[in-house]
Amino acid sequence: MGLPVTYAQMMGANTPEWLQPILAMFSRGNPVYMLAFSALIVFFAFFYTTVVFNPDETADNLKKGGGFIPGIRPGKNTADYLRYLLTRLTFVGAVYLVLITLLPEVLMFKWSLPFYFGGTSLLIVVSVTMDTVTQVQSHLLAHQYEGLIKRSRLSRGGRRRGQ
């Protein structure tokens, strides 16, 4: 989104006059910029999901492994259900991403609040925080299992089974 504006700024005084209003519309804080930014976020959310997840392949793998979704017949019906579910989940996720990325824009340009995180950096901070919390939880869970194993060895008096 910032590439055309950056290019025009590099051109300086050589920027064509007809390009000035277009660049003004695509400057940060402008409603056209926010609408285009939102559209690109939604597009790439659906594009990425389509590239990464294949409902037909997943349905075939479930069928081959003997798995199924309760109430849904294996095969094409499962693939259709997964596609339906994936579309709904991707839409909700895309709306969430749009809200998270536009929040700093609104705070900075509409209400003049000093908010120094952009939408992308805010997403990175949130995802790193969530990943760190998940890693800490898994470490604590592993530590609990270690304690249970030590206690079970102590309660048996260090003896093996059958002795």
Per-residue pLDDT reduced to its tens digit, 81-121: 999 999 999 999 999 989 888 888 888 777 777 766 666 77
Q: What pLDDT is attached to residue 115?
A: 65
Residue 117 and residue 126 in contact, taking contact as beta carbons nearer than 8 Å? no
CB neighbours of residue 59 within 10 Å: 24
Residue 105 and residue 119 in contact, taking contact as beta carbons nearer than 8 Å? yes
DSSP-derived 3-state class of residue 2 = coil
Please return the burial class of 31, using the count of CB atoms within 10 Å of its CB with bins 0-12, 13-18 and 19+.
exposed
Alpha-carbon distance of 41 to 33, in angstroms, equals 12
Q: What pLDDT is attached to residue 131?
A: 92
Q: Tokens 């075939």 appear where?
A: 60
pLDDT grade for 1, boundaries at 50, 70 and 90: confident
Nearest to 31 by CA among 85, 100, 113, 109: 109
CA dihedral 77→81→83→87, nearest 10 degrees, is 160
Q: What pLDDT is attached to residue 100?
A: 84
Question: Which percentage of the chain shows pLDDT scores above 90?
Answer: 31
Instruction: Fill in the DSSP letter of residue 160.
Output: P
The CA-atom distances, in angstroms, between 158 and each of 94, 142, 147, 152, 153 are: 55, 22, 15, 9, 6
Q: What pLDDT is attached to residue 154?
A: 67
The CA-atom distances, in angstroms, between 139 and each of 69, 127, 129, 135, 150 are: 32, 18, 15, 6, 17
Handedness of CA 64, 69, 73, 78 (dihedral sign): negative
